[in-house]
Amino acid sequence: MTYKAAKNGIDNIIEIDPANVARYAALTGATLTPLESDTTPVVETVPMTDYVDMADAYATAEAALLQAQLGIE
């Protein structure tokens, strides 16, 4: 999971399991704040764009993703 680690006015984004946060914070003296999960889909308000091309490309990408998940070469 992604956390922001802040220390002495400097921020870093780090990858860490929640179970390790307390010890890591004790070792470094940093303050850790969880960030949004990087696996949560983000829905954005988008500017005007070519939605026809976008939808077509989206479907192609979805198919490729499913194929990869099924292990199809």
Partner 1 sequence: MGGGGSAGIKNSDKPSITFDGKWSGWYAEIYDDTPYWECMITSSGGLSVIGTIIADAWGIGGGGGGGYYYSSGTNYYYGAGSGFTAMAANLTLTGSMAVTIGAGGTPYTGSVSQSMDVFPGTTGGATTFSSLAANGGNGSGQSAGTGGSNGATYYQVSGGSNGTPGAGKIMSKFWDAAHNTDIGAGGVCNSSYYIGGGGGGFTSLKIPGTQNGEGYGGGGCKMYEGYLGTGTSGCLVIRIKM
Q: How far is the CB of 60 from partner 1 (least distance, A)?
A: 9
Report the SS3 class of residue 43: coil
DSSP helix/strand/coil, 1: coil
Tell me the two tokens of residue 2: 């992604």
Residue 34, classed as helix, strand or coil, is: strand
Nearest-approach distance from CB 31 to partner 1, in angstroms: 14
Q: Which of residues 19-58 bind partner 1 (CB under 8 A)?
A: 19-20, 23-24, 27-28, 35-36, 38, 41-50, 53-54, 57-58
Q: Give the burial class of 22: count Cβ atoms within 10 A of its Cβ; 0-12 exposed, 13-18 middle, 19 or more buried.
A: exposed
Contacting residues toward partner 1, per CB under 8 A: 2-3, 5, 12-17, 19-20, 23-24, 27-28, 35-36, 38, 41-50, 53-54, 57-58, 61-62, 64-65, 68-69
